Amino acid sequence: MPSLPPDPMIARDLVGYGERLPDPMWPGGARIAVNFNLNIEGGGEATLANGDQVSEGMPNDIGVETKTGRRVPLVESVFEYGSRRGAWRILEIFREHGTRVSVLGVVRSLEQNPDLARAFVRDGHEVVSHGYRWIDYVEVPEDVEREHIRQAVDGLTALLGERPLGWMTGRPGPNTRRLLAEEGGFSTTGTPSPTNCPTGSACRPARTS
């Protein structure tokens, strides 16, 4: 039987910090932080309308089979609702309560609805790069993913006037983390995030009490 090539992802850490919880250094010495995230992905999903060969088969990311060579109106309408109305309603709710949210924006989506992106920034919310496309990167060639990262950074910078500091790829592949490190310039990346500490942050040693 032929041997498989080395895979850097095979070396996995399933122990982590164990029983000794590290201190994530939340502001004011808080012991817990609540972060609201809003995903904006409509228009960035796999669809023939984006020049893809396949379309999302269902409006979720749990591995439902895609449809080859055809558009799926039901799925497209769900993504469109989020962009056309859903996100605006959520923006209004957070405005009423004076609460900030991290907007995980797929850049291809925001490019097609720039007023929505600017409205969140105007209200003081942070826009985090959610990648250039809302697709599964597990089998995407490395050079294509690298180009998508560059397009996402350039696109958000052009759209909002400043470079994104946060990043979270929704469906990362084996190259994603390394490519983000090569790009650099991010304060945190949630791609992937197998810990309670923000990826890229420096947690203090574990508390003793």
Higher pLDDT, 146 or 70: 146
Terminal CA-to-CA distance of the chain, rounded, Å? 53
pLDDT band at 63 (very low <50, low <70, confident <90, very high): low
Q: Do 116 and 41 meet the contact criterion of CB atoms below 8 Å apart?
A: no
Q: Do 108 and 46 meet the contact criterion of CB atoms below 8 Å apart?
A: no
Of 61-70, 109-118, 140-149, least confident by mean pLDDT is 61-70
Q: Do 55 and 46 meet the contact criterion of CB atoms below 8 Å apart?
A: yes
Question: Residue 195: pLDDT above 80?
Answer: no
What's the mean pLDDT when you consider all of the chain? 86
Q: How many CB atoms lie within 10 A of CB 36?
A: 12
Q: How many CB atoms lie within 10 A of CB 193?
A: 14
Q: Which residues touch 194 (CB under 8 Å, ≥6 apart)?
A: 13, 16
CA distance linking residue 191 with residue 178, whole number of Å: 10
Strand partners, 166: 188
The DSSP code for 57 is S
Please give the pLDDT value at position 187.
85
Strand partners, 103: 38, 127
pLDDT per residue over 89-104, tens digit each?
999 999 999 999 999 9
pLDDT band at 198 (very low <50, low <70, confident <90, very high): low
63: left (phi over 0), alpha (psi -120 to 50) or beta: left
pTM above 0.85, yes or no: no
The DSSP code for 8 is G
Average pLDDT (193-202) is: 61
> What letters, b where the CB count within 10 A reaches 16 and e where it falls short, cover 145-177?
bbebbebbbebbeebbeeebebbbbbbbbebbb
In order of their start, the domains of the chain are 33-189 (3.20.20.370)
Question: Residue 2: pLDDT above 50?
Answer: no
